[in-house]
Amino acid sequence: MPKRKAAIAVGGVAALGAAALLLPNAMASQDGGSADAAGAPRTMKANDASDLAAQLQKALGDAFAGSYYDSGKQQLVVNVVSGDNNLIVQAKKAGAVVRQVENSTSELKAAAQTLKTKATIPGTSWAVDPRTNKVLVTADSTVTGAKWNRLESTVQGLGSGMATIKKSAGTFKTFVSGGDAIFSQVQGGNVRCSLGFNVKASDGSPAFLTAGHCGVAAKDWSDSQNGQPIATVDQATFPGQGDFSLVKYNDATTQAPSEVNVGNGQAPVQIKQAVDATVGTTVFRMGSTTGLHDGQVTGLDATVNFQSETDPNGVDTVTGLIQTNVCAEAGDSGGSLFTQDGGAVGLTSGGSGDCTSGGETFFQPVTAALQATGATLGDAGAGAGAGAGDQSGAGGDAVGGGDQSGATADPSATADPSATADPSATATNPAGTGDQSGAGAGDQSGAGAGDQSGAGAGDQSGTGDATGTGHQPGTGAGDGSAVNQGH
């Protein structure tokens, strides 16, 4: 049987607005030499900062109170509350910026646990912010009246200097679609999601990762609307400890390149390894609805409580997600979150807002999905994670404000003919923001995700617990056309 190259290029869209060029060597200087004897802060890449943070977290023990990457200065900042001065000196000599803070990791964890117990309200989220050394609480547009009063009272009860609260545009929901569009026919219409990253399954067969709520909604997937299935769900997790699916190509000879197609005729970004997210790192998201957008990682190990679509009074819980201020919309679910230098970071799950007003978006960590499924990344077989794991010490480093969502590339940068496509360019979606398959309307989150209430809100070390409004299946156009559910 002749080999069939995978028709789905990871993360691409058919029509994408102009994208600037990414200079592959633009961050080469971040490698910086080792710190000098006086312990001057060292410039480094985000991945190197992640590795160093993990080492310092172990060395500092209880004195460690979180860390983040200062992308402007290209430095790792480590918070300490107290501890052996010799260890702090060693941290400085290792190249980190060390700063004294008020709140310890255990205190921040306790505050997040109190919020979880007293204020698990649909449309809210919280995570530890290492940049402010506080718990940042976010409420979407549905949190009003008595709900807002309850949330505000709980925050105030944590004490002065422990937490802050802010409003977010839109409502928390899953984003159905993303990356190169993939489709499935289910009872009542089509489900649309997006491919995240091509991988190899544990048995060596070609496969790809996408969102778990996509894999729960439908089993067989095609690369075209109403087309014949080319892949079948092998594993799916949603709700619970993650939002990821492993989908195997039906043709075992399928060639599945380890790359992200950023569209517009640009060379794809080669995916070299899976990496753990670091707070403060710039990341790029590709989705079939909104194209290419960028922003920063603002929180780790977040828990999202979507309002259950099967139980009006229930909550669907997903744990262990990455929080960002990258924008996304319906149809972007499952799509790729990656770094400038080719690190696979996450799979689009859900969030609030849109690519006009911004908002928060949550992602399934790729490293955790690879570990859980036994898959390896793409052509090179890079396994679960070159990153350093959780650098927060408090379980969810930060929830940032969404002011960096959709930032474009530096207009002063000159084009390098050898450069690959710049993921930092904001994409234009000529086809509009809606789901482009069928007659679906509104937030076309997939059906069949099941009741997620009570699933794994549990032990996230006080990490960014978030509660959302859940999946809202799209309605038909009223002319007899099928309901199209975008994921």
Q: Which residues are catalytic?
A: 213, 243, 333
The length of the chain, given as a count of residues: 487
Angle at 227 between CA 226 and CA 232, to 5 degrees: 110
- C-alpha distances (whole Å) from 463 to each of 128, 341, 370 are 7, 28, 22
Sheet of 220-221: strand order equals 220-221, 231-237, 244-249, 206-210, 197-200, 376-377
Q: Is the dihedral of CA 220, 224, 230, 234 positive or negative?
A: negative
Please give the single-letter amino acid code of residue 341.
D
Question: 371 is written with which tokens?
Answer: 């570990």
Rounded to whole angstroms, the Cα distance separating 329 from 470 reads 14
DSSP line for 350-400? EES-BTTTB--EEEEEHHHHHHHHT-EETTTTB-S-SS-----SSSS----
Upstream peptide bond of 239 is cis (omega within 30 degrees of 0): yes
Which of 231, 376, 219, 387 is CA-nearest to residue 300? 387
What HEC string does 278-292 produce? CCCCEEEEEECCCEE
